[in-house]
């Protein structure tokens, strides 16, 4: 195990904490120590990008990080950020932070700064840039000016309306209704009252009729219109009490059920990975040596002892936007737990980490359970129990073979 790499990684972690606290001086010192220990450690250069107050030095650090890892999106964003800071500093020199005047602590750091390094934490933005702050201030000024202008327009319109309708308002407010008090405004009219005529109620007395036969004269209606004759027919008065007729009764339904023989369901079987090439097995599988095979096509990890598989796991590797690297590597550091961060994410206390190439590693996963589908930013996600088994089984220097 490279003790320098472990110490450099520890400096990077402490530097990130210092940056989160706003202590850029401490972060810069820790970043310089990490770069002196491991010059090709991308994260150390990115720490310097975020911590250095000089835009030119920050841009140089960012370019160095991009040179070490041309495919790194963090390094590209660091270069873009440092370039924007440098442009703003040149356009507004009075806002520039004066370069550090104190001498470097030692000659290696002096040489480090002269070689134009580069860097930052993922995206080194810990607040709004001066350009963004100025743009926000301009927008606020425009908003206030618009509000004031709108109030002035409303006031002018109100004055104009008052002047235009002043006469009308005055006439309405000062008008008095005058009721004439002279002259005859009414006349007496004789309205006749309705008279009361007595009514002969004998005309409304019921006349006896014979129920034997009723003859009704029906006027003839025009042809084509149906007619219906209604005649009074004596109805018989019931002499017996009506018998109760039972209503419909509810018939209980009958449920029929056919018993079907139990049909076994298929048990989930993990995808069978294509074995690594015979040449790889021959080169890594001699003498019962332990090594790890990662198949990106089937999202599987196999633990080998020689040419024998002793355990296998379903995993989640990098997506097409953040793919997992391929090739043969060796585990260079093992951490029982640690923090992981990148553009747009921060994962504290990730369990059972085994780094095999830069920031790529195998580790446990507590934030999703969608194994078998690419989900990660490039690392190999295992269930926490599987990661613990692999962590205890593998050791520093164990080969990790990654392929499709």
What string of DSSP letters covers 238-294?
A: P-SPPPPPP-PPPPPP----------PPPPP-PPPPPPPPHHHHHHH-GGG-EEEEE
In three-state secondary structure terms, 396 is coil
Architecture of domain 3-130: Alpha Horseshoe (1.25)
The tens digit of pLDDT for each residue in 149-173 reads: 899 898 888 888 877 776 655 554 5
In three-state secondary structure terms, 326 is coil
Instruction: Give the gyration radius of the chain's Cα atoms.
Output: 48
Residue pair 329/322 in contact (Cβ under 8 Å)? The answer is: no
Q: How far apart are CA 384 and CA 386, in angstroms?
A: 5
Residue in 327, 387, 323, 335 with CA at minimum distance from that of residue 5: 335
- The secondary structure of residue 121, as a DSSP letter, is S
Domain range annotation of the chain: 3-130, 278-403
Above pLDDT 90, what percent of the chain?
Answer: 30
Q: How far apart are CA 65 and CA 57, in angstroms?
A: 12
Q: How far apart are CA 23 and CA 29, in angstroms?
A: 10
Give me 159's structure tokens.
């004055």
HEC secondary structure over 197-224: CCCCHHHHCCCCCCCCCCCCCCCCCCCC
Decide which of 354 and 224 is more confident: 354
pLDDT reading at 401 higher than 70:
yes
Residue pair 312/319 in contact (Cβ under 8 Å)? The answer is: no
Chain-centre distance of CA 158, in angstroms?
Answer: 48
Segment among 238-247, 274-283, 309-318 with least mean pLDDT: 238-247
Q: How far apart are CA 318 and CA 303, in angstroms?
A: 20
Average pLDDT over residues 67-90: 88
Segment among 21-30, 197-206, 237-246, 364-373 with least mean pLDDT: 237-246
Q: What is the mean pLDDT of the chain?
A: 73
Give me 21's structure tokens.
């606290």
- What is the bridge-based pairing of β-strands 333-342 and 290-295? unpaired
Residue pair 303/292 in contact (Cβ under 8 Å)? The answer is: yes
pLDDT reading at 187 higher than 90:
no
Q: What are the residues whose beta carbons fall under 8 Å from the beta carbon of 73, sequence distance 6 or more?
A: 343
Decide which of 245 and 71 is more confident: 71
User: Considering the domain 278-403 in this protein, what is its CATH number?
Assistant: 2.40.440.10
Q: Is the pTM of this model over 0.75?
A: no
Residue in 287, 318, 286, 285 with CA at minimum distance from that of residue 302: 285
Residue pair 35/112 in contact (Cβ under 8 Å)? The answer is: yes
């Amino acid at each position: 195990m490279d003790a320098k790499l472990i110490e450099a990684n520890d400096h990077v972690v402490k530097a990130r904490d210092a940056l989160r606290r706003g202590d850029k001086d401490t972060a810069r010192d820790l970043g310089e120590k990490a770069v002196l220990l491991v010059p090709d450690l991308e994260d150390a250069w990115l720490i310097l990008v975020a911590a250095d107050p000089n835009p030119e030095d920050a841009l140089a650090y960012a370019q160095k990080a991009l040179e070490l890892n041309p495919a790194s999106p963090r390094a590209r964003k660091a270069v873009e950020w440092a370039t924007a800071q440098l442009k703003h500093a040149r356009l507004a020199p009075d806002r520039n932070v004066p370069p550090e005047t104190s001498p470097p602590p030692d000659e290696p750091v002096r040489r480090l700064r002269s070689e134009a390094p580069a860097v930052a934490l993922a995206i080194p933005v810990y607040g709004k840039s001066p350009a963004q702050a100025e743009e926000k201030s301009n927008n606020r000024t425009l908003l206030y000016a618009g509000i004031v202008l709108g109030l002035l327009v409303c006031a002018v319109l109100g004055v104009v309306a008052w002047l235009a309708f002043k006469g009308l308002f005055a006439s309405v407010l000062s008008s008095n209704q005058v009721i004439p008090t002279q002259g005859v405004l009414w006349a007496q009219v004789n309205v006749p009252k309705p008279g009361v005529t007595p009514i002969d109620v004998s005309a409304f007395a019921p006349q006896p009729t014979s129920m034997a036969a009723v003859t009704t004269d029906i006027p003839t209606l025009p042809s084509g219109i149906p007619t219906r004759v209604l005649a009074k027919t004596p109805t018989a008065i019931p002499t017996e009490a009506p018998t109760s007729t039972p209503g419909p009764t509810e018939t209980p339904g009958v449920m029929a059920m056919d018993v079907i023989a139990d049909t076994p369901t298929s048990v989930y079987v993990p995808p069978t990975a294509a074995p690594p090439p015979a040449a790889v097995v021959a080169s890594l599988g001699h003498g019962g040596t332990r090594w790890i095979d990662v198949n990106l096509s089937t999202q599987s990890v196999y633990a080998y002892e020689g040419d024998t598989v002793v355990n296998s796991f379903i995993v989640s590797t990098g997506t097409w936007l953040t793919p997992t690297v391929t090739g043969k590597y060796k585990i260079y550091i093992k951490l029982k737990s640690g923090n992981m961060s990148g553009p747009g994410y921060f994962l504290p206390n990730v369990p059972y980490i085994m780094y095999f190439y830069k920031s790529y590693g195998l580790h446990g996963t507590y934030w999703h359970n969608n194994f078998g589908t690419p989900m990660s930013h490039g690392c190999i996600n295992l269930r926490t129990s599987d990661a613990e088994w692999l962590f205890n089984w593998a050791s520093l220097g164990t080969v990790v073979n990654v392929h499709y």
